[in-house]
Amino acid sequence: MDEETLKQVAQITGYFNANSADDLRSVYQALSQRVVIQKRETELTALAAALLLALAVGLSLAWFSRRRKSASAGSASPHVMAPESPVVKIEGEVFP
């Protein structure tokens, strides 16, 4: 950029020029008067509750999809009963 354009940008944006340490001190003084720090309290209870709910839903979906896959794969689970032995009946007689 040319110097004239830089001067225009500086004028629009409030650019400070400091060629010495004293100039720099006065720039910092001017900035401290222009910059305002504002403390604000923000309530995070609703956000925390929403995040915990999302986590609970995700864990629940992961848990039940894992259980469904293991049950359909035929893995031994304490809730899956083993099939009974076949019983053969021939004309009133029972053979194990």
The 3-state secondary structure of the chain, one letter per residue: CCHHHHHHHHHHHCCCCCCCHHHHHHHHHHHHHHCCCCCCCCCCHHHHHHHHHHHHHHHHHHHHHHHHHHHHCCCCCCCCCCCCCCCEEECCEEEC
For residue 11, the enclosing domain spans 3-34
The larger pLDDT score, comparing residue 18 to residue 78, is at 18
Q: Tens of pLDDT along 48-83?
A: 999 999 999 999 998 888 777 766 665 555 556 666
Mean pLDDT of 6-13: 84
Domain assignment present for 57? no
pLDDT surpassing 70 at residue 18: yes
42: confidence class by pLDDT, cuts 50, 70, 90: confident
Domain assignment present for 81? no
Domain assignment present for 13? yes
Domain assignment present for 11? yes
Sign of CA dihedral 51, 54, 58, 64: positive
Domain assignment present for 7? yes
Domain assignment present for 10? yes
Total-model pTM: 0.32
Q: How many domains in the chain? A: 1
